A and B are shown apart, each in its own frame.
Chain A
């Protein structure tokens, strides 16, 4: 077994919580505050892991399984992500679909666990999550379709390895369109601001945070950690699209990749600071817009 491919998932597992810290720091900077330390999420995770979980008597085992399933899905998904010329630990034909459905399974587990609590509030959050997920899925799959048409259906690692400076010269428009579409997806899927506010807890427009209200202790730690891994996964997808890493020297790829992810996080922080949260009725509009970006990329690929 080669060691190198494991560097990426390891980096993801170790650094993912740091990325959320960076977002919070950027937001604090824009608000004129000093903000929490970038390591805050690590402290929170350690604190939560030392506590015990409390479960309501009205719940079934589903809620106990939920966080573990979510975390397992995210950890598996990080194993599929390549960086530049370096292949992921596991890669096979069609691993993209597995990636999409691992994310789907994680969502399914969250939603089931939320419904299991029997709280109408969490049920509402679950309903919204599923509604927006249904709208977000086309944009992911259309983007994937474009990449598959362009680079062949031979695994995510090969696809990403196909992106080089020449690709940018011949079909940069495609990459930019899909990356923009996936950036919107990143914001929507990770409950960042134009769609949902990660900081609010008791508010009627919130989606994701409401579903995890009943967790405490290690379960909450799992959910928070899984959320940071999910953020990492989407950021990694966007960075892989945008940086023609194959054209770089091998030793440069890892630092450039990490710098790219940090840059995406800073961008997310800026977006969160300067954009107001959309009204709930407006959210489908930007999700459809994101799918349309991918659709245009598809059309450019097919007829252009």
Chain B
């Protein structure tokens, strides 16, 4: 379990530091696989069918289906990398250190006995990194990836809290996320077709006026 937690933290750091989008998608897919294995490892002694199904469905949805969807999106839009995020990749990593500290603080502060602290820490870290990426990256694809990372964190927290978490609820959440990302993918595709870019930052400039405001001019 420690190994999975460490890999989870490392994958989040990789996301903070890499600019290539297909790498980011692969990393998120790997996270999905890790999280799928997690409940199975966690209850290795009394493994029952429900947990096995939960693990397998996580692997299929988060490790295979969603990354495939994002990849399709990426291919259709023809973007390769995140250029000029609001916070650069080096500073992002530094912020990652701070977030890691914050995650440790939260996990220790919660004082939950019987919860593996390292797993709790890494899950909180995933949530924080997801939030951070969502705020600091420009491309809509990265932002939806960040949403997935955050959801992975939430899932991790759920698993670390208790394994008897109603398994139907967990499956329901998976379905929700799937639909959410499906919609996002659709949206991205249409965005890309309409505006020929996926820069979410530029959405603020949408208007019916035919001429875009010249660069440098202050908008009222």
Chain A residues in contact with chain B, CB under 8 A?
Answer: 173, 177, 281, 284-285, 288-289, 291-293, 295-296, 299-300, 302-304
Is B94 touching A288 in the complex (CB atoms < 8 A)? Answer: yes
Interface residues on B, range: 20 to 34
Please report the C-alpha to C-alpha distance between residue A177 and residue B10 in the assembled complex, in whole angstroms: 10
Q: Which B residues are CB-close (under 8 A) to A295?
A: 97, 100
For the complex formed, measure the closest distance between the CB of B37 and the CB atoms of chain A, giving whole angstroms: 16
Please report the C-alpha to C-alpha distance between residue A293 and residue B107 in the assembled complex, in whole angstroms: 19
- The answer to whether B143 has its CB under 8 Å from any CB of chain A is no
For the complex formed, measure the closest distance between the CB of A16 and the CB atoms of chain B, giving whole angstroms: 33
Please report the C-alpha to C-alpha distance between residue A289 and residue B18 in the assembled complex, in whole angstroms: 12
Q: Which B residues are CB-close (under 8 A) to A302?
A: 104
A291-B97, A296-B10, A303-B108 given; 8 more Cβ-contact pairs under 8 Å: A281-B90, A288-B97, A292-B96, A292-B100, A299-B9, A299-B118, A300-B6, A303-B118
Q: Is the interface of A mostly helix, strand, loop or mixed?
A: helix
Q: Which A residues are CB-close (under 8 A) to B94?
A: 288
Please report the C-alpha to C-alpha distance between residue A177 and residue B5 in the assembled complex, in whole angstroms: 13
Is B121 touching A303 in the complex (CB atoms < 8 A)? Answer: yes
Q: Which B residues are CB-close (under 8 A) to A281?
A: 90
Q: Which A residues are CB-close (under 8 A) to B97?
A: 288, 291-292, 295
Q: Which B residues are CB-close (under 8 A) to A299?
A: 9, 100, 104, 118, 121
For the complex formed, measure the closest distance between the CB of A180 and the CB atoms of chain B, giving whole angstroms: 10
Q: Which A residues are CB-close (under 8 A) to B117?
A: 303-304
Write out, one digit per residue, whether chain B residues 7-24 have a CB within 8 A of any chain A CB (1) or not (0): 001100100010000000
Minimal Cβ-Cβ distance residue in B for A299:
B104
Q: Which A residues are CB-close (under 8 A) to B3?
A: 173
